[in-house]
Amino acid sequence: EPEVTQTPSHQVTQMGQEVILRCVPISNHLYFYWYRQILGQKVEFLVSFYNNEISEKSEIFDDQFSVERPDGSNFTLKIRSTKLEDSAMYFCASSGPSGTADLYGYTFGSGTRLTVV
Amino acid sequence: RKEVEQDPGPFNVPEGATVAFNCTYSNSASQSFFWYRQDCRKEPKLLMSVYSSGNEDGRFTAQLNRASQYISLLIRDSKLSDSATYLCVVSPPRGGATNKLIFGTGTLLAVQP
């Protein structure tokens, strides 16, 4: 079964440092997403990406965050100048052609646990 | 009002029991509805989509009431392996190309031997 792959599985960083979280979506999917889940809280939408640009972003996704699809396979989330409150599990997800997410939902990666110290 | 609201539980039930989870959503124009399952410190995994006519997948039955903005999940003959957090998930009206998902906080189910 196709998978969304995320690396690293756990990242520890010092406050103020920049981190890059990496994702390899399913190869024939067109829509890519980042979500985060602070421990004990709900999964929250950060950003969606389609046709090489951001299609929607949440209030959480401020200037500290950026996304990029540097080549045909990787999808990255960069967090500049990390804060303690950025500590969370970050999930990448992808979905197929328009409409399929309505029927089949997404495929999520196993997540990157980011710990800011 | 929260966009998607669920009883956080926990629901502690014995093996073999039937358990029902409920969920309400605030946006009446929401497009799509799902139940996801999340094990501790793992990613959400799609359990089933929810259709207006109601749908069943083995021991799991999902129902949608658009008039009441209410979604339910029924699990029959609970197994120990059903222990997890069940997430009610809604997709808002599609204003563009995005199919973003809005998650509830989840309902924790613990099936006891």
Which pLDDT belongs to residue B97?
54
H helices of A14-71, in order, are none
Which pLDDT belongs to residue B96?
54
Taking chain A (117 residues) in runs of 10, the rounded mean pLDDT of each run is 92 98 91 95 94 92 95 92 97 80 78 98
Give the DSSP H or E segment for A101: helix A100-104
Of B43, B97, B101, the CB nearest to A50: B97
Find the residue in A nearest to B108 (Cα): A40
Reduce the DSSP state of residue A10 to 3 states and report it: strand
Is A32 an 8 Å CB contact of chain B? no
Q: For residues B85 and B105, what is the distance between their CA atoms, to the nearest angstrom?
A: 9
Question: B98 vs A31: CB contact, 8 Å cut-off?
Answer: yes
Tens digits of per-residue pLDDT, A62-82?
999 999 998 878 999 999 999
Is A48 an 8 Å CB contact of chain B? yes
Is B31 an 8 Å CB contact of chain A? yes
Which pLDDT belongs to residue A95?
87
Distance of CA B87 to the CA centre of its chain: 5
Instruction: Compute the residue count for chain B.
Output: 113
Are the C-beta atoms of residues B38 and B95 closer than 8 Å to each other? no
Taking chain B (113 residues) in runs of 10, the rounded mean pLDDT of each run is 90 97 93 93 93 92 95 98 97 70 95 96
Distances (CA, A) of A75 to A61, A78, A91, B57, B73: 16, 10, 12, 33, 34
Q: For residues A78 and A18, what is the distance between their CA atoms, to the nearest angstrom?
A: 7
Question: A48 vs B89: CB contact, 8 Å cut-off?
Answer: no
Distances (CA, A) of A5 to A2, A75, A108, B9, B21: 10, 10, 9, 31, 31
Neighbouring residues of B34: CB distance < 8 A, sequence distance ≥ 6: A105, B46, B47, B48, B49, B50, B88, B89, B90, B91, B101
Which pLDDT belongs to residue A102?
60
DSSP string, A61-88: --TTEEEE--SSS-EEEEE-S--GGG-E
Residue A39 DSSP symbol = T
